[in-house]
Structure 1
Amino acid sequence: MPLQHNTLEEFLSKARVEADVFALQPDCRVMLLAVEGLMPGPSDQGSEVLLETAEIRARDALRDQTVEQLPHVAAWREAYRAFGAKPQRTRNSVEALLRRAASGLPRVNRLTDIYNAVSVIHQSPVGGEDLTRYVGAPRLARAGGEECFETSVGGEAETEHPAPGEVIWLDDIGVTCRRWNWRQAQRTQLSGDTTSALFILDVLDPVTDDALKTAADDLVGNLTRLGTDLQFACRQISSEDSRSADAN
């Protein structure tokens, strides 16, 4: 499927976070990173070293505290409660990874391995999706309840609908990730053939803008070994950006 935009910058310029999400969580910020020219491949020595580093960082972070006591994990658990989700049942993506780190993070393919490791190292949710599967630009909004989410149950394709008020990522034809950063849709998941990807880094306080940029830079640095002619575009969205756009 061809990319449905002229440039990565144009694609990201159309992304938005709706006002009702900022009303719910004014401190939320999103860093979007779009990449073209990736060379897909299985897990390799480079991704193995990065995952092992992430596992060590997770064990160190959890030496004297539980996962839910980590400040950013605790902030996400409160955010989930704010839109009606139960964090003990539907864990945000970084909490789920941190809980797996003690016994070993999954080895999927080198692209997925990289963003999972960066998520754990920086203790922030990071999502990775196939850019060519998008129809229109990404949007973070609160669900009306009628949106379609393509998933699999027991190996069978199934369409679900988010709960009204649930925070979701979506494009023009459906939900791409439910409960903010809990579960991705099958339609836009990365695959072993992905050459163009969108990475979504979500943060809340107490994570600073500088820490968010550091995580994004780390992700870019690790992705550079997956291609000889990569193209990158990056955009941060915050409540201040939204207010400025409304004012104009």
Structure 2
Amino acid sequence: MLDDIWVDDAVFDLRPDFAVLLMTARGLRNGPTDDRSRAWLAAASEVEVQTAKIDAWKDAYRAFGAKPQRTRPSVDALTRRMPLPEINRAVDAYNSISVKHALPIGGEDLDRYVGPARLVRATGDEASEEVLGQPEPGEVIWRDDAGVTCRRWNWRQVVRTRLTEETTNAIFLLERLEPMSLEELKEAGEELADLLSQLSPEAQITSRLLTSGK
């Protein structure tokens, strides 16, 4: 699965510093927010906002014509929602890591995908859920064979692939721009894997780093 995921060269042309750490967790035991995941959210809410990393994402949005004050990068929107919302254990886990590292993270139900995920610049005629609206030509989107899975790079995900309490196989997309280092990206991935392993000790977690030229 991870080997089939790809990023179009047109995205790397836009931001050569882009990298994404892909992670799958199979055999996940998700469920409603509990005291443990609530503590992760509380700890993340105390972390000072790292504006330089968020500003890099705002610049990336402007580069493909989006207005980051209107449709905010996911980590920017999340840091404005303190205290962090309680969703479910797996989402709480990746949201806490997202805020801690000022790192956009998407978490989705792997079993809801149709074909591999890929990050591309939209043609404008991709199938998209009505609530998200139609992507604009040139917009950066995640998609699969069925259509858009996330608009405007990491602004908003579709309902179809969202993580629910019943999800057992998940994929996580940890998206990096400079000034975040690749070392910190890998550290964030290890921290997320640790939280997921606490939730589901028997889960099988695999990862792949995807950068320009790889």
Q: Please tell me the TM-score bracket, short chain as reference.
A: over 0.9
Partner of 1:130: 109
The CA distance in 2 between the partners of 1:210 and 1:149, in whole Å, is 35
The CA distance in 2 between the partners of 1:165 and 1:123, in whole Å, is 25
Moved over 2 A (4+): none
Partner of 1:55: 45
The CA distance in 1 between the partners of 2:164 and 2:154, in whole Å, is 18
C-alpha distance after superposition, 1:190-233 (max 9, x if no partner): 11110110000001011111000000000000000222321111
TM-score by length of 2: 0.97
Q: 1:97 aligns with which of 78, 102, 126?
A: 78
The CA distance in 2 between the partners of 1:160 and 1:77, in whole Å, is 21
Counterpart residue identity of residue 129, structure 2:
E
C-alpha distance after superposition, 1:96-125 (max 9, x if no partner): 111112xx1100111111111110011110
Partner of 1:246: none
Q: 2:55 aligns with which of 52, 59, 74?
A: 74
Q: 1:194 aligns with which of 167, 185, 203?
A: 167
Pair 1:214 & 2:204 matched: no
Pair 1:223 & 2:196 matched: yes
SS in 2 for 1:149: coil
Contact 1:168/1:177 (CA < 8 Å) preserved in 2? yes
Unaligned runs of 5+ in 1: 1-10, 153-158, 242-248
Counterpart residue identity of residue 44, structure 1:
D
Q: 2:69 aligns with which of 74, 82, 88?
A: 88
Partner of 1:147: 126
The CA distance in 2 between the partners of 1:148 and 1:218, in whole Å, is 34
The CA distance in 2 between the partners of 1:76 and 1:107, in whole Å, is 25
What's the CA shift for 1:173? 1.2
Partner of 1:175: 148
C-alpha distance after superposition, 1:47-73 (max 9, x if no partner): 01100100011xxx24xxxx7xx1110
Moved more, 142-151 or 88-97: 142-151
The CA distance in 2 between the partners of 1:164 and 1:130, in whole Å, is 27
Pair 1:44 & 2:34 matched: yes
Unaligned runs of 5+ in 2: none
The CA distance in 2 between the partners of 1:128 and 1:180, in whole Å, is 13
Matched residues, number: 214
C-alpha distance after superposition, 1:119-138 (max 9, x if no partner): 00111101100000001111
Q: 2:86 aligns with which of 107, 120, 142?
A: 107
What's the CA shift for 1:160? 2.9
Identity among equivalent pairs (%):
49
C-alpha distance after superposition, 1:133-173 (max 9, x if no partner): 00111100000000012254xxxxxx732000000000111
Contact 1:151/1:185 (CA < 8 Å) preserved in 2? no
Counterpart residue identity of residue 185, structure 2:
L
SS in 2 for 1:229: coil
Counterpart residue identity of residue 161, structure 2:
T
Counterpart residue identity of residue 69, structure 2:
Q
SS in 1 for 2:129: strand
Which has more radius of gyration? 1
TM-score by length of 1: 0.84
Give the structure with the higher percent helix: 1
What's the CA shift for 1:239? 0.6
The CA distance in 1 between the partners of 2:199 and 2:40, in whole Å, is 14
Q: What is the RMSD computed on CA atoms of the aligned residues?
A: 1.1
Counterpart residue identity of residue 192, structure 1:
E
